[in-house]
Amino acid sequence: MRVALFVTCVNDTLYPSTGQATVALLERLGVDVDFPAGQTCCGQMHYNTGYRHQAEPLVRRFAETFRSYDAVVVPSGSCAAMVRDVHPRIAERAASEGRTDLAGPVAEIVPRVYELSEFLLDVLEAEDVGAYFPHTVTYHPACHSLRLLKVGDRPLRLLRAVRGLRLAELPGAEECCGFGGTFAVKNPAVSAAMCDDKVRHVAETGAEVLCAADNSCLMHIGGALSRRHSGVRVMHLAEILANTEESSR
């Protein structure tokens, strides 16, 4: 199986450790991972802001860059949902406007795109990935992974199998954190109020670490946690799963 990492813009620019952890985790499970240098953005920011035509070249680039791979692993439910749910709609709309070169490549690549927890459980069938993390953790399910990808309890199953990890249930877990990409920019007051609710719930768990599968959510919530001097760290799911007893010494 030829597997590629689509690291995403946010991770590549601000959280490179997430991409590194994803590769380390997959390689520990026996997967050879490629990183196509031609990858760019999935086009989510453009599309969500109303620039559908400007997103089309990025959709085309994604399909061309990853077309030779059997699987594309994405450590972001948000970007995986963009590719799986929105790219086909962009291609369909382009075809209705006479640009027919997009639909075929998109239809070919979309079924091979997996959010990280999906790939681990559905493809590798690895619930216990050999991780060790002796801390109390609470998990925030990001909206895109929860509602569009419907990953369900996959991340929780992976966390429950981590040795030493104590999983604390997050009250109101399925409530949005308020980030929503450009939503936080267009509606800052509402976004901040939603984040306040999420931070309050995190504090109620007594967790040392807040985990999510999207760094965009962690950036938003983590900023508020930091400003409140809460002492709660934020970590991407891949970073916890990549941790082993040997690496903790």
- What are the residue ranges spanned by the domains of the chain? 3-123, 136-248
pLDDT at 99: 86
pLDDT at 181: 78
pLDDT at 159: 98
Helix (H, G, I), strand (E, B) or coil at 28: helix
Spelled out in words, what is the top-level CATH class assigned to the domain 136-248? alpha beta
Q: What is the pLDDT along the chain (249 residues), one digit of tens a residue?
A: 999 999 999 999 999 999 999 999 999 999 999 999 999 999 999 998 899 999 999 999 999 999 999 999 999 999 999 999 999 999 999 999 998 889 999 999 999 999 999 999 999 999 999 999 999 999 999 999 999 899 999 999 999 999 999 999 999 999 999 988 788 888 889 999 999 999 999 999 999 999 999 999 999 999 999 999 999 999 999 999 999 988 766
Q: Torsion angle of alpha carbons 66, 18, 111, 105, nearest 10°?
A: -30
| Per-residue b or e along 155-194, where b marks 16 or more CB atoms closer than 10 Å to that residue's CB | bbebbeebeebebbebeeeeebbbbbbeebeeeeeebeeb
